[in-house]
Amino acid sequence: ESLIALNDYNYIVDFASEGYPDGHYIEYDWGITDDANIDTGTTKVFGSSVLLEDYDPSITEYILTEYLTLDYVGSDWYSYLTYYVYTEGDVLIDSNTFYSLDSYNIIAPYLLLTVYDENGLAGEGIKIKDETNNIEYETDTNSQFYAMITDLGWGDEYIQTTITHTDDSYNIGVLDYYWNSNYTYDINFMLHPSSDVRSHEFMVLTPTNEVWANQYIGFLESGSDSNITGIIQTDSEGRATINIEPDALLDVVLYDENGDAIYTYENTIVTAKKPKDEITLADISPYDVYVGGLLNYNLVNQTDANITFSIFAGVTDYYTIRVADYNATIADRKYVPRNYLVKVEMGADYTDSYIVQPYLVSTTDAIIPTIKIIDLLGRSVPDVVVVISKFVGDSPEKKIIYSEKTDSTGTLSWSAQPLDKYYIDVYYNDVLQGSYIITPRTSADIYWINVDTSVFVVDPTKVMYDISWLVNDHLIQFENEIQLKAWIKSNTLNSYDQIKVLAKQNNITQTEDIIDMEETPLNYYLTYTFDNDFFDGSVPSITYVVELYKDGELVKSFNTSVIWSKKMMKSGFFGALSQLPSDLGQPLGAILSIIMIVLFIAVLTMSGLPTNPTMISVIGLFGIGFFMFFGFFNTGVLVYGTDICWIAYTMLCIMSGYLGFREVSR
């Protein structure tokens, strides 16, 4: 940018060598000339008759500052200073003119906007719309838009501007700004395909933790001074929402009302180290890392000491990291996966680097205790952040071993080592609600924690959106259909009129659909079924994306990732039977199987056929084993990789065999 002003020019005026006595006074004229010769050049004078009173011969240097606002006058103009010396009787006794050694290209304020996309110049006909005044302009054949700020009527005005590609598959750019009439602007603006961008909400703070309210933030390609992807104004709380590429290297620049860059936040580099065994501290390799939340990365079968990726500081949502040991057959993993939430604030706590050291517990050692968050009335509280730490090895500091949000029922489960001490920190609306110490013993342990939600008041004038996913982010073996279920919440009726549902693998959209809404309630239950054929079974994860639109504009986007393996549904009786435990629920399925075995034995006994206790025992054991094979008695509690129901069944068979042998021996 070029400021059309000459300022802070240091003129050295050696008044003392002239030998003027005390009592004289000096005034000066400062101006510009198109020639370094005051006698022949065309001049413009500024700052006439400025009096330097109380003349001090020891002062030989004055820094004179002026801002010039003028029409276009060409290039290579020079600044000059003429001083005049007067006696106490106002008699001019001397004058002299000094010229600057620098030339200035003095021009009127203009805007030169060049629009690019990922292929280079975006081309002719790009729409530049002044939303404030409802006036539309277009780029020329050079993909440029040029106009004087004064001709546009933008001088010293806040103008909301949108930039729209001729290809409607591109995201609409936003250039909201206060245009200073004393500045020129040369801007390169980047447009991206809509499929590459996501909605990001920022909470903007200065390095001294002051809220950057009603000010401007720009998003510039890292290392560039002019490749801009958007400029927006924050609200009175310092918040702003913009659609940008989640994995782009962008500097977030804080601008003041004059367009001056006050501070720049660079991307934070997150380093996820190779996971370690929580007990032995041995490295676990190879391993998988799944990055979700605002990003979508699937890094499978990794052996490097660490992996890195970049995130934006100041976003209000969390990035999620899920770490697991690698196994080609997901069900055969030796460790239980763990989650880590990552969010870097702007302000005094900002950092350009963030390190995550995952710790995992083996499936043979792990128990899965549960934390349940409720409010003071006993109601479940979703989306509460729970951070779990412990002392690992000989470390004098606690290490975060798990962090996650509670689900729609206020519940969270994690893998723990039995009888180890874990430290729990609970955050509601990013405010610490309490810290606790627990020592879980079995997977049946449930810890109830109260949070006080009454002290948090939401501004009713601000439209807010949230989602509670009703999907399991652990191992999911889908059949020939994949169901997405979620509660979409808003504090305002009819805050969106369209839902776009997408499913991705490796950041590539596999299928999508649009749901038009005539009316939207505060809480909407979304259920959608994807066809299994759209997905690649060799990719071990699926990312669900739910986007909300109002009048064709994206207002909020959510996503979550699930780890999965592809399994086609078996047909016929046995296929339906294998589905029955999951459809009915484990307790009801077990009860139903016992009733069926008892009925079969009762019918057999009353049929008149020859029976004896040994035969009844064998038939009963066979029936139990038959239903166990289809998962009716699975408890989910593993001992050395085997469900305890099979251990109990084996002991039952041994005992029955022993009793039967004794009966025959009599």
pLDDT per residue over 546-580, tens digit each?
999 998 888 888 887 776 655 544 445 555 566 66
Residues 156 and 119 in one domain: yes
Domain boundary among 343, 363, 383: 363
**Judgement on whether residues 321 and 409 belong to the same structural domain of the protein:** no
Residue 452 has pLDDT above 50, yes or no: yes
The band of 602, judged by pLDDT with boundaries at 50, 70 and 90, is confident
Compute the Cα dihedral for 610, 615, 620, 626 and give only its sign.
negative
| Same domain? 307 vs 207 | no
Do the beta carbons of residue 216 and residue 177 sit within 8 Å? yes
Same domain, 298 and 445: no
SS3 333: coil
d(CA 447, CA 460): 33
Over residues 368-390, the mean pLDDT reads 91
Is the per-residue pLDDT at 134 higher than 90? yes
Q: Give SS3 for 613.
A: helix
**pLDDT at position 473:** 47
Neighbouring C-alpha atoms within 13 Å toward the C-beta of 656: 16
**At 462, which CATH number?**
2.60.40.2550
Q: What is the pLDDT of residue 12?
A: 52
Same domain, 35 and 128: no
> Which token pair is 457?
């008041």
Closest-CA residue to 424 (of 378, 433, 367, 415): 433
The CATH number of the domain where 289 resides is what? 2.60.40.1120
Interval 512-522 mean pLDDT: 87
pLDDT of res. 395: 85
pLDDT of residue 651: 83
Q: Which residue has the higher pLDDT, 539 or 360?
A: 360
Overall domain count for the chain: 6
Determine the number of helices (DSSP H) and then strands (DSSP E) in the chain: 5, 50
pLDDT digits (tens, 9 = 90+) for 297-332: 888 999 999 999 999 999 999 999 999 999 988 888
Q: Per-residue pLDDT for 62 more than 70? A: no
Closest CA to 77 of 110, 44, 104: 104
User: Please, which residues bridge with residue 30 across strands?
Assistant: 46, 81
Q: Quick one: what percent of the chain has pLDDT higher than 70?
A: 77
pLDDT band at 279 (very low <50, low <70, confident <90, very high): very high
Segment 640-650, tens digit of pLDDT: 656 677 778 88
pLDDT recorded at residue 611: 72
Q: What is the mean pLDDT of the chain?
A: 80
400, 456 in Cβ contact below 8 A? no
Task: For residue 272, give its domain range.
Answer: 267-363
Same domain, 374 and 466: no
Same domain, yes or no, for 578 and 595?
A: yes
Task: Say if CB 197 and CB 244 are below 8 A apart.
Answer: yes
Phi, psi of 173 (to 5 degrees): -80, 150
Q: Which residues share a beta bridge with 409?
A: none
432-450, pLDDT tens digit by residue? 888 899 999 999 999 999 8
Last residue of a domain, one of 231, 265, 299: 265
Position 575 scores a pLDDT of 54
- What SS3 string covers 548-607? EEECCEEEEEEEEEEEEEECCCCCHHHHHHHHHHHHHCHHHHHHHHHHHHHHHHHHHHHC
Instruction: Indicate the range of 6-15, 452-461, 603-612 predicted with least confidence.
Output: 6-15
Residue 664 contacts residue 612 (beta carbons within 8 Å): no
Amino acid at 440: P
Q: Are 260 and 277 within one domain?
A: no
**Could you give the CA distance from residue 209 to residue 222 in angstroms, rounded to a whole number?**
23
Q: Is residue 91 located within the same domain as residue 11?
A: yes
> pLDDT at position 544, please?
85
> Which pLDDT band holds residue 103 (cuts at 50, 70, 90)?
low
Q: Does 423 have pLDDT greater than 90?
A: yes
Which pairs from 122-127 meet CB under 8 Å and 24+ separation?
Answer: 122/165, 122/166, 122/191, 123/166, 125/166, 126/163, 126/164, 126/165, 126/166, 126/191, 127/162, 127/163, 127/164
483 and 419 assigned to the same domain? no
How confident is the model at residue 481, as a pLDDT?
A: 64
Q: What is the three-class DSSP state of 624? A: helix
Q: Which of 326, 343, 363 is the last residue of a domain?
A: 363
Same domain, 119 and 261: yes
Measured between alpha carbons, how far is 261 from 6 in angstroms, rounded to an integer? 19
Name the least confident of 173-182, 332-341, 574-583.
574-583
Q: Are 60 and 173 members of one domain?
A: no
